[in-house]
Amino acid sequence: MNSLVIYGTRFGNTEKISRAIAEELRSSGAVKSLLIEEVDDSSVKGADLLVIGGPTENHRLTAPMKQFLESFQPGALESVAAVAFDTRYRKPRWYSGSAAGGISKLLRRAGAREVIPQESFFVRGQPAELEWGELERATAWGKALAEKVEAAQATVPPSQ
């Protein structure tokens, strides 16, 4: 399995979460981790799994993340498994918003198949820092993601 983890970050929290997820995905194959500013459309070619996350800012995903995801035509990610995550303050989603919600919506519009529900990882303070236990939770989430994708690939018959 070839996984691509794409993330945006402002204070380094989303980068830490993405690294924990990527480390777990390594048990299932090759993993490439890229900052959103380093990504172009060709970066996703050959990826079996896209993991995309970013900080929630002003109730939504950041402009670079939105611009990247909107660059995909409907159906462009038709055969790609995908999942979204974000970092945000621990408040009700209706109050804080969620970058993962926007990422997920744009992935589905491009035809990607979400393999597990989107996830939020929480920060606190100013400047924002990860809450205690969030890196461990990201590791567990990455492991569950890897297991889910491996199980799905095992049920797909080889191409003839």
Task: Identify whether 53 is part of a domain.
Answer: yes
Output the domain CATH number for residue 135.
3.40.50.360
Question: How far is the C-alpha of 93 from the C-alpha of 90, rounded, in Å?
Answer: 8
> In total, how many domains does the chain have?
1
Residue 119: which domain range? Answer: 2-154
160 residues of the chain, pLDDT tens digit each:
899 999 999 899 999 999 999 999 998 899 999 999 999 878 898 899 999 999 999 989 999 999 999 999 999 999 899 999 999 999 988 899 999 999 999 999 999 999 999 999 999 999 999 999 999 999 999 999 999 888 877 765 555 4
The answer to whether residues 128 and 88 touch, using CB atoms and an 8 Å cutoff, is no
Task: Identify whether 160 is part of a domain.
Answer: no
**This prediction's pTM:** 0.92
Pairing of strands 49-55, 2-7: parallel
Residue 127, strand partner residues: none
Task: Identify whether 42 is part of a domain.
Answer: yes
